[in-house]
Structure 1
């Protein structure tokens, strides 16, 4: 029986005014290719519903999306804060904490890594361009599969064992970023400008987050498929 991987989704309003959820095909296709069954999750915030999800799923894929409300890491919004999704924030916050408590595998991408870090007690830059000096272009103006900047990988980390390289090139589509890694988390990847590009938790069975979007790269750059395969294998 295939393992069931919960895939978080974005809230989307159609031109007709109908509101629904959306998860990119690149995410679900990667999970299917890795041998598991993706389950796109509806929006829910009740504690018993969240706990039921956490109990029944084998793994959690936290996907990219809009900004995280800074109240979750104890800050007021600055003018450069982008769109936020209150229901999604609440759901992912609760679900991530439930998965961490149950020690079930988590793979977090872009916004997902930020949610993971904050749920575990870390903080974020609300906007890199105004809050961190001399940063690279982290919102690239090239195709989503294009690798735009380097990431240095820390030896001895799960990320190093997956890639077996000291540095890789990744795509980049974010203006928020981790400021302080959560207590107990290890920074496993860093951009040349010092921006945190990957974190993981040695205290958990498998908890890995990356700031880039491997789901947009794995078909053209097969090395990034290993992130999904390793995650599914740990589920």
Structure 2
């Protein structure tokens, strides 16, 4: 049986230089998929591209243009990539329409939520109403920094095999209001949304942490996230 082809988005520095951590690539390969890095500037060809892909991995990176959710820039907003903000919603919509699997990580969970009509905190530390944990850890990427509580009966809980586990963390923005058919399936102890998933698609999972950096270093829950994702891509490609 052919391996599934997974489109992988990348970080774009001021719309000029594409970069991507090798952890994303290796996590997909180890889970049995073939990763293909997607560049910006192919918006008009998204429909054709989606027919060739079995799944989509939305990766982390810079901040998101708040105009996508009808806000103006907060003083703490970081660097954005207009080209990436154009491409990713377009390909997300096509993948959802085709019911092809999506795994969204860090920035990915945020752009997924926004594409479906949700919004986000431009800066959790100045906009969230409660005292927060440290969400940009001062430790190596593979360090497990705080707990996530998964919703009973959720896709996330079924993958993890538990409703509480530790994750790494590196973000200052986060999902805020979550629209249907998305559902919150994981939260940190301070209330920050850590995972969302679709109740209307075969496999759509977004996580705020970075399982790719954990999966390639042997973390079992992180490996299962990628394995279940790639397995779902294989099923849709049959």
Is this a same-fold pair by TM over 0.5?
yes
Cα 1:81–1:24 shift into 2, 3 Å: same
Aligned to 1:106: 102
Aligned to 2:226: 228
Q: Say if 1:28 and 1:38, in contact at 8 Å, map to a contact too.
A: yes
Deviation at 1:56, TM superposition (A): 1.1
- Per-residue CA shift, 1:80-119, capped at 9, x if unaligned? 1111000011101111111111111000000000000000
Secondary structure at 1:91's aligned position in 2? helix
Query: What runs of 5+ residues in structure 2 fail to find an aligned partner?
Result: 234-238
Answer yes or no: is 1:84 the counterpart of 2:85. no
Distance 1:85 1:178 in 2: 18
Distance 1:198 1:175 in 2: 15
2:140 aligns with one of 135, 139, 143? 143
- Per-residue CA shift, 1:132-166, capped at 9, x if unaligned? 12111111110000010000010010001101111
1:57 aligns with one of 53, 58, 75? 53
Distance 1:12 1:89 in 2: 12
Cα 1:72–1:19 shift into 2, 3 Å: closer
Secondary structure at 2:28's aligned position in 1? helix
Q: Which aligned pairs between 1:186-225 and structure 2 lie closer than 5 A? A: 186-218=183-215, 219-225=217-223
Deviation at 1:45, TM superposition (A): 4.1
Aligned to 1:117: 113
Secondary structure at 1:21's aligned position in 2? strand
The RMSD of aligned alpha carbons is 1.3
**TM-score scaled by structure 1?**
0.95
Residues matched between the structures, number: 230
- Per-residue CA shift, 1:51-72, capped at 9, x if unaligned? 1111210000000000010011
